[in-house]
């Protein structure tokens, strides 16, 4: 791991560290957005977009994840990360490592209650140079941040949290500083929406929370905490129940995207379960420098099902050009590999996941691929070699096999097709 801050007990030296070393990691020239904030006016947006998978991801290959006794995944994968050197999968029962061609290397972290194990709930972050996997356990071993070296494939000494207990989120802010937030559901008296610490567990500084929310069970008003976002160019933060995404510049929050909801919010937002008609906006946790897909979700109530009930949302998806702030509402999304079409009336839409390392992926379960009709008439916009690769994979694929990943790069020139240039 890279060197961490060296501290003196003298106040003057600490002050110098905070003002010189801590804030020396600035965004690179040209990475700022001069015309921000971008305002998203959903109600008055007239641009409708019929989007295709091939509009968002190119230079693709299909990678079947090897199925073994140790690496059998269900339909839901908690965390996926792809790089030029490995594929990392977290299905909440442990973390598995695969080679770039999908060969199973091994389970590197198990789920459990002991030291060096995952709790049932956790968040994860991989450092920009892809050396270290940071894990924030939510229910056990909550005093430390677990660290795993992906190159040597070994656990490292954990990093002590400057505020022990349940954290809501974390990320590596720069080579020597970790950004963290507390859990968003606790009525903790800690005043910070987010904070910085070093690798020794020393608190450096923080941003005080200026927002509150209501705990639904007892109507208690508590401070809102923040969540982190990143795209390889900037780091971002957002209050959990707010609609503004900020560029994070040390202790400054620069408004970047403001979503104007269809319904005016006048009351302090409540936690789960929300009131019917409540709107929330969801940004991509990890993204690319070119475009972003934003989900506007309106809670409409609960629908009974076999296990009790499920929350029902009306979703609107927005495609934003990060270069100029132009946007449109996604009317439909066509997977031009499988032929599946998701319309604007769909409950949810599934899109490729972009990462800060300029890679993207899309997850297929085996049933999706085996169920492709030979009479599929959807326009084939990917290179023919990708469809030929799919046919080869299907020859040996079984319904019970692990998912297949479509891995590629986010498309840079997406905007021309939709008038967003």
357-376, pLDDT tens digit by residue? 999 999 999 998 998 877 76
Band of the pLDDT at 94, cuts 50, 70, 90? Answer: confident
In terms of pLDDT, which residue wins out, 298 or 170? 170
Average pLDDT over residues 395-415: 93
Band of the pLDDT at 250, cuts 50, 70, 90? Answer: very high
Average pLDDT over residues 135-157: 90
- Which residues on adjacent β-strands are paired with residue 213? 222
Instruction: Report domain extents, the chain.
Output: 36-418
Please classify residue 76 by burial: count the beta carbons closer than 10 Å to its beta carbon, then call 0-12 exposed, 13-18 middle and 19+ buried: exposed
In terms of pLDDT, which residue wins out, 92 or 247? 247
Per-residue pLDDT at 9? 34
Contact status, residue 33 vs residue 236, Cβ threshold 8 Å: no
DSSP E strand boundaries for 167-251: 167-174, 177-182, 192-197, 203-208, 212-215, 220-223, 226-230, 235-239, 244-249
Query: Does residue 419 carry a pLDDT above 50?
Result: yes
Element (H, E) at 384: helix 384-396
Query: Does residue 259 carry a pLDDT above 90?
Result: yes
Of the ranges 3-7, 113-117, 374-378, the best mean pLDDT one: 113-117
Min mean pLDDT across 67-76, 383-392, 408-417 is at: 67-76
In terms of pLDDT, which residue wins out, 216 or 290? 290
Query: Does residue 72 carry a pLDDT above 90?
Result: no
CATH (one of 1.10.3430, 2.60.40, 2.130.10, 1.10.287) for 36-418? 2.130.10
Using CA atoms, how far apart are residues 273 and 280, in angstroms rounded to an integer? 12
Contact status, residue 294 vs residue 40, Cβ threshold 8 Å: yes
Per-residue pLDDT at 255? 96
- Assigned token pair, 397: 């694929």
Per-residue pLDDT at 76? 73
Element (H, E) at 392: helix 384-396
Min mean pLDDT across 52-66, 229-243, 274-288, 387-401 is at: 274-288
Per-residue pLDDT at 33? 52
Query: Does residue 145 carry a pLDDT above 70?
Result: yes
Min mean pLDDT across 26-35, 65-74, 181-190, 388-397 is at: 26-35
In terms of pLDDT, which residue wins out, 227 or 25? 227
- Assigned token pair, 403: 């998912």
Q: pLDDT digits over 74-86, tens only?
A: 767 888 999 999 9
pTM, two decimals, is: 0.86
Band of the pLDDT at 134, cuts 50, 70, 90? Answer: very high
Contact status, residue 380 vs residue 331, Cβ threshold 8 Å: no
Task: Choose among 278, 268, 196, 223: nearest CA to 22.
Answer: 196
Using CA atoms, how far apart are residues 337 and 387, in angstroms rounded to an integer? 7
């Amino acid at each position: 791991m890279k060197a961490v801050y060296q501290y003196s007990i003298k106040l003057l030296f600490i002050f110098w560290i905070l003002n010189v070393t801590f804030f020396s990691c600035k965004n690179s020239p040209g990475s700022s957005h001069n015309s921000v904030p971008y305002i998203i006016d959903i109600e008055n947006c007239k641009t409708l977009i019929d989007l295709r998978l091939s509009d968002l991801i190119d230079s693709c290959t299909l990678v079947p994840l090897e199925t073994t006794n140790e690496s059998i995944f269900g339909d839901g994968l908690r965390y996926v990360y792809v790089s030029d050197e490995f594929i990392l999968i977290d299905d909440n029962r442990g973390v598995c490592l695969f080679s770039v061609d999908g060969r199973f290397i091994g389970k590197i972290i198990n789920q459990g209650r002991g030291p060096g194990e995952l709790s049932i709930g956790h968040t994860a972050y991989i450092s920009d140079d892809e050396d270290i996997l940071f894990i924030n356990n939510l229910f056990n071993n909550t005093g430390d941040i677990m660290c795993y070296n992906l190159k040597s494939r070994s656990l490292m000494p954990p990093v002590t949290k400057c505020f022990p207990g349940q954290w809501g989120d974390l990320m590596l802010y720069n080579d020597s500083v970790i950004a963290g937030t507390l859990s968003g559901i606790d009525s903790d008296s800690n005043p910070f929406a987010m904070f910085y610490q070093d690798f020794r567990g020393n608190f450096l500084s923080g941003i005080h929370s200026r927002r509150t929310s209501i705990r639904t069970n007892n109507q208690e008003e508590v401070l809102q905490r923040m969540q982190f976002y990143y795209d390889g160019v900037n780091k971002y933060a957002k209050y959990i129940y707010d609609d503004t995404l900020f560029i994070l510049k040390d202790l400054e929050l620069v408004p970047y995207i403001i979503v104007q909801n269809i319904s005016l919010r006048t009351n302090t937002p409540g936690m789960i379960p929300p009131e019917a008609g409540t709107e929330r906006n969801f940004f991509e946790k990890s993204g690319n420098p070119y475009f972003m897909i934003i989900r506007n979700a309106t809670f409409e109530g609960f629908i009974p099902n076999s296990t009790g009930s499920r929350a029902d949302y009306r979703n609107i998806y927005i495609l934003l050009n990060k270069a100029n702030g132009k946007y449109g509402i996604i009317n439909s999304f066509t997977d031009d590999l499988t032929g599946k079409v998701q319309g604007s009336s769909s409950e949810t839409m599934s899109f490729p996941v972009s990462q800060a390392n300029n890679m993207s992926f899309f997850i297929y379960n085996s049933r999706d691929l085996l169920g492709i009709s030979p009479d599929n008439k959807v326009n084939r916009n990917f290179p023919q070699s990708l469809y030929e690769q799919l046919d080869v994979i299907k020859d040996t694929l079984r319904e019970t096999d692990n998912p297949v990943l479509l891995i590629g790069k986010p498309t840079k020139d997406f905007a021309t097709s939709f008038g967003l240039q």
